[in-house]
Amino acid sequence: MPGKICYLGDDHLQGAAAYLAGIFLHYGTAFDHVPSAEPPPVEFASIPYAAYVISDYPSLRLGHAAMAHIAARVEEGAGLLMIGGWESFHGRLGEYNESPLASVLPVLMRASDDRRNFPQPCLIEKAAEHEILSGLPWDQPPGIGGINLVTAKPGAETLLAAASFSVLHTVPLKSFRLAAKETGVASFSLVRSGEAFHFSAADRAPLLIVGRYGAGRTAALTTDVAPHWVGGFVDWGDQRIAQAVGSGMIEVGNWYARFFHNLVAWTGRLDEFRD
């Protein structure tokens, strides 16, 4: 039986938290959710969670004692995943860079606003082989709308990068290909009858970083699981998955759902990856 996940943030289950909660329900992952506006419940420290997922949940609300408890649990073997947002990492209100979790997460955080938005294409680039990424078509990369800027710690591994592009409409042409040999990144093609676009070289930033702290696994995903930063990533797939959570229903791509399931399952060492 997989262990239970403690999921903190993303507003409430009738809002943005419905996306990740829906994935938990789809894959049969047990979880408790703490809304962004509420502190951890009194029984928080007495539950042996397999992993803690923090997503858009401010450090001031979590509190020093709860963060110290999470750090101790990860050192003992639990997992910790932080997902990006305005109240994650430093963000606008996250401010985890000076918290007890700064030494636990596999990234170095900035001491000021680390948010970056992408008004033009930003595609996810696979940077390494890993079981989190297995079975997914990274040759068909999804796009995202924003990230928190961080740096991977020495010894941590960057699995995915955010590759952002500057696009300029140019002369008529049927298709245009960006060659990997010229830029050092994967090739991307744009085909549109009668028109062409010029892509400048990609600017890359770490997107998914994994590491270890004591006996526990840690991960940092610097984009969001829910709109708006998640962008087209939420629809990544060749099938739609309908998820009923709280008072509403959402639909997401099956590859998006599989990725987040793999990520949480690896971080928390859940017993099995189920289809």
Question: Concatenated DSSP letters for 33-98?
Answer: EE-TTSPPPTTGGGS--SEEEEES--HHHH-HHHHHHHHHHHHHT-EEEEE-STTSSSTTTT-GGG
State pLDDT tens for residues 195-208.
666 677 778 999 99
Q: What percent of the chain has pLDDT over 90?
A: 78
**Is residue 159 pLDDT above 60, yes or no?**
yes
Tokens of 177: 């290909």
Q: What percent of the chain has pLDDT over 70?
A: 86
Give the number of other Cβ atoms within 10 Å of residue 100's Cβ. Answer: 18
Measure the CA dihedral 43/45/49/50, to 10°: 180
Least confident of 4-13, 118-127, 174-183: 174-183
Question: What is the domain partition of the chain in residue ranges?
Answer: 5-165+202-268
Q: How confident is the model at residue 1 (pLDDT cuts 50, 70, 90)?
A: very low
The predicted model gives 167-183 an average pLDDT of 56
State pLDDT tens for residues 3-54.
899 999 999 999 999 999 999 999 999 999 999 999 999 999 999 999 999 9
pTM exceeding 0.95 = no
State which CATH number among 3.90.550.10, 3.30.300.30, 3.40.190.10, 3.40.50.880 fits the domain covering 5-165+202-268.
3.40.50.880
Tokens of 18: 């419905």
The predicted model gives 130-140 an average pLDDT of 96
**Is residue 168 pLDDT above 60, yes or no?**
yes
The predicted model gives 98-114 an average pLDDT of 97
In contact, 86 and 56? CB cutoff 8 Å? yes
Q: Which residues touch 129 (CB under 8 Å, ≥6 apart)?
A: none
Distance between CA atoms of residues 135 and 131, nearest Å: 9
User: Which one, of 267, 274, 262, lies nearest residue 5 by Cα?
Assistant: 267
pLDDT for the residue 201 = 72
The predicted model gives 171-200 an average pLDDT of 56
Q: Which residues touch 40 (CB under 8 Å, ≥6 apart)?
A: 8, 34, 62, 63, 66
Q: Which residues pair with 238 in a beta bridge?
A: none
**Exposed / middle / buried, residue 74 (Cβ in 10 Å: 0-12, 13-18, 19+):** buried
Least confident of 165-179, 240-254, 255-269: 165-179
pLDDT for the residue 175 = 53
Q: Which residue in the block uniquely carries the two structure tokens 């400048």?
A: 200
pLDDT for the residue 274 = 44
Tokens of 145: 């709308």
pLDDT for the residue 162 = 96
